[in-house]
């Protein structure tokens, strides 16, 4: 029998990107721009992409000789070039491992953008945790910076 648990935690990541807020926003809103940085460098399959309030996005990512992860998001609040709020769940090999609310905030700063992502998550049954998720999100932000 699997022991059930729910661990709640919040993390925040702050970055500065040398790109205007509109360009950073586009990296989330445009499927071809997002494909340049989001997911595994090995294999990510975009299943759906509907970037609007109430819209959904789904993707699957596999790692060489490793697990398959599924990402399913619903966009709840979008203010162009300023804010994106969405909920999402992650599954590993078909088993849900977390459910999160993420907020992305963009603020013009000189010729660039001050960027903040805050994530409030519940990590399920010991299959994921906040430290792992923060590390993965940091890696995605590194990839985003390179794509900009």
pLDDT value at position 86? 98
Give residue-wise pLDDT tens across range 44-66.
777 889 999 999 999 898 777 78
Which CATH class for the 6-147 domain? alpha beta
pTM confidence score: 0.90
Beta strand pairing call for 56-62 and 68-79:
antiparallel
- Indicate the domain borders of the chain: 6-147
List of residues 6+ apart from 114 with CB closer than 8 A? 14, 15, 16, 106, 107, 108
Q: Which residues of the chain have pLDDT under 70?
A: 1-2, 40-43
pLDDT value at position 105? 98
Dihedral of the CA atoms 82, 87, 90, 91 (nearest 10)?
-150
């Amino acid at each position: 029998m699997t022991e059930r648990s729910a661990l709640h935690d919040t993390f925040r990541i702050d970055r500065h990107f040398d790109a205007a807020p509109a360009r950073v926003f586009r990296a989330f809103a445009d499927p071809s721009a997002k494909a340049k940085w989001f997911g595994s460098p090995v294999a990510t399959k975009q299943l759906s992409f509907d970037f609007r309030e109430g819209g959904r996005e789904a993707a699957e990512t596999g790692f060489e000789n490793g697990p398959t992860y599924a990402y399913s998001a619903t966009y709840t609040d979008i203010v162009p070039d300023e804010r994106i709020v969405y909920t999402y769940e992650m599954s590993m090999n078909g088993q849900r491992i977390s459910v999160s609310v993420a907020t992305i905030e963009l603020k013009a700063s000189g010729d660039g953008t001050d960027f903040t992502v805050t994530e409030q998550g519940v990590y399920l049954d010991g299959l994921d945790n906040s430290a792992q998720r923060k590390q993965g999100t940091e890696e995605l932000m590194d990839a985003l910076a390179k794509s900009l």
